[in-house]
Chain A
Amino acid sequence: MKTAAGTSRRNFLKTTALGAGGLVVAFFVPGANRLAQAAPAAADAAAPFAPNAFLRIAPDDTITVLLAHSEMGQGIWTSLPLLLAEELDADWSRIRVEHAPAAPDYFAVGMPMQFTGGSMSTWTEFERYRRAGATARALLVQAAARRFGVKAADCRCENGTVIAGDKRARYGELAADAAKLTPPKTVTLKDAKDWNLIGKPHKRLDSPEKLDGRAKFGMDVQFEGLLTAVVARAPVFGGTVASFDASAARRVPGVRDVVQVPSGIAVVADHFWAAKLGRDALKIEWNLGPNASLDSERLHGDFLKTATDAGLPASVAGDATAALVKAATRIEADYAVPYLAHAPMEPLNCTVKIDKDHCEVWTGTQFQTMDQAATARITGLKPEQVTIHTMFLGGGFGRRATPTSDFVTEAVEVAKAAGKPVKTVWTREDDIRGGYYRPAFVHRVAVGLDAAGKPVAWQHRIVGQSILGNSPFKMMVRNGIDATSVEGVADSPYLKQIADHHVSLHSPELGIPVLWLRSVGHTHTGFVMESLIDELAKAAGQDPLAYRRTLLAEHKRHLGVLELAAERAGWGTPLPAGRARGLAVHESFGSFVAQVADVSIDNDAIRVHNVVCAIDCGIAVNPAGIVAQMESGIVFGLSAALFGRLDIVNGRVQQSNYHDYRVLRMNQMPKIEVHIVPSTDKPGGVGEAGVPPVAAAVANALFALTGKRQRELPLRATS
Chain B
Amino acid sequence: MVSLTINGKTQQFDVPDDMPLLWVIRDMAGLTGTKFGCGMAQCGACTVHVDGAPLRACVMPVSAVAGKSVTTIEGLSADASHPVQRAWAELDVVQCGYCQSGQIMSAAALLKAKPEPSDADIDAALSGNLCRCGTYQRIRAAVHRAAELAKG
Contacts and interface: CB of A to CB of B under 8 A. Distances in A.
Nearest to B78: A212
B94 A213 contact: no
B79 to A, nearest CB: 8
Contacts of A666: 122-123, 126-127, 129, 136, 139-140
Contact of B38 (A207, A215, A428, A672): A428
Given A212-B73, A345-B99, A206 B94 contact: yes
A71 B94 CA distance: 12
A624 B136 contact: no
Given A213-B74, A346-B96, 19 more contacts: A71-B96, A208-B89, A211-B88, A211-B100, A212-B33, A216-B32, A344-B132, A345-B96, A345-B131, A395-B96, A428-B39, A429-B39, A631-B138, A632-B133, A633-B134, A635-B133, A667-B123, A667-B124, A667-B127
B28 A212 contact: no
Interface string A62-101: 0000000001111100000000000000000000000000
B55 interface: no
A665 B123 CA distance: 9
Contact of B36 (A347, A628, A636): A347
A634 B134 contact: yes
A421 interface: no
A219 interface: yes
Nearest to B87: A211
Nearest to A215: B97
Interface stretch (A234-242, A350-358, A656-664, A708-716): A656-664
A212 B19 contact: no
B42 A664 contact: no
Interface in B21-50: 23, 26-28, 30-40, 42-43, 45
In the A-B complex, the 4 residue pairs with the smallest Cβ-Cβ separation, listed nearest first, are A213-B33, A635-B134, A394-B98, A73-B96
Nearest to A222: B30
B43 to A, nearest CB: 5
A392 B35 CA distance: 13
B94 to A, nearest CB: 4
Interface residues of B, number: 60
A691 B100 CA distance: 22
A657 B42 contact: yes
A664 B15 CA distance: 36
Interface residues of A, number: 62
A214, A343, A394, A429 — which one has the most chain B CB atoms within 10 A of its CB? A394
A658 B42 contact: yes
Interface of A: 71-75, 203-204, 206-208, 210-217, 219-220, 222, 228, 253, 270-273, 343-347, 392-397, 425, 427-429, 624, 628, 631-636, 639, 657-659, 663-667, 669, 671-672
Contact of B133 (A207, A222, A395): A395
A466 B33 CA distance: 39
A396, A397, A628, A657 — which one has the most chain B CB atoms within 10 A of its CB? A628
Nearest to A632: B134
Contacts of A347: 36-37
A397 B134 CA distance: 12
B73 A213 contact: yes
Nearest to B85: A211
A394 B100 contact: no
A644 to B, nearest CB: 12
A228 B92 contact: no
A73 B40 contact: no
Given A345-B45, A671-B137, A211 B94 contact: yes
Nearest to A343: B132
21 contacts: A73-B97, A212-B73, A212-B74, A212-B85, A216-B32, A219-B32, A228-B27, A253-B16, A271-B27, A271-B28, A272-B26, A273-B20, A344-B96, A345-B132, A346-B35, A347-B36, A394-B96, A428-B42, A635-B134, A665-B136, A667-B127
B130 A271 contact: no
Given A635-B134, A667-B123, A210 B97 contact: yes
Given A212-B76, A345-B37, A394 B42 contact: no
B35 to A, nearest CB: 7
B118 interface: no
Interface string B90-106: 00111111111100100
B37 A212 contact: no
Given A204-B92, A207-B92, A212-B74, A395 B132 contact: yes
A207 B104 CA distance: 13
A73 B133 contact: yes
A36 to B, nearest CB: 15
Contacts of A210: 94, 97, 100
Nearest to B42: A658
Contacts of A639: 132
B16, B34, B73, B131 — which one has the most chain A CB atoms within 10 A of its CB? B131
A634 B98 CA distance: 19
B35 A345 contact: yes
Given A213-B72, A273-B27, A628 B92 contact: yes
A433 to B, nearest CB: 13
A344 B99 CA distance: 10
A133 B74 CA distance: 36
Nearest to B98: A394
A203 B19 CA distance: 39
Nearest to A429: B39
A204 B94 contact: yes
A204, A624, A667 — which one has the most chain B CB atoms within 10 A of its CB? A667
Interface string B2-17: 0000000000000110
Contact of B135 (A270, A632, A657): A632
Contacts of B138: 628, 631
Contacts of A206: 94, 97
Contacts of A216: 32
Contacts of B149: none
B37, B98, B131 — which one has the most chain A CB atoms within 10 A of its CB? B98
A268 to B, nearest CB: 14
Nearest to A204: B92
Contacts of B113: none
Contacts of A346: 35, 37, 96, 98
Contacts of B92: 203-204, 207, 624, 628
A467 B27 CA distance: 37
Contacts of A271: 23, 27-28
Contacts of A214: 33
Contacts of B129: 666
A428 B139 CA distance: 24
B23 A272 contact: yes
B1 interface: no
A211 B133 CA distance: 15
A73, A210, A425, A639 — which one has the most chain B CB atoms within 10 A of its CB? A210
A345 B73 contact: no
B28, B88, B89, B94 — which one has the most chain A CB atoms within 10 A of its CB? B94
Nearest to A228: B27
B64 interface: no
A102 to B, nearest CB: 21
B32 A345 contact: no
A213, A220, A659 — which one has the most chain B CB atoms within 10 A of its CB? A213
A666 to B, nearest CB: 5
B126 to A, nearest CB: 5
Contacts of A624: 92
Contacts of B100: 210-211
Contacts of B128: 665
A504 to B, nearest CB: 34
A19 to B, nearest CB: 27
A345 B98 contact: yes
A658 B127 CA distance: 13
Given A427-B39, A658-B38, A666-B139, A273 B97 contact: no
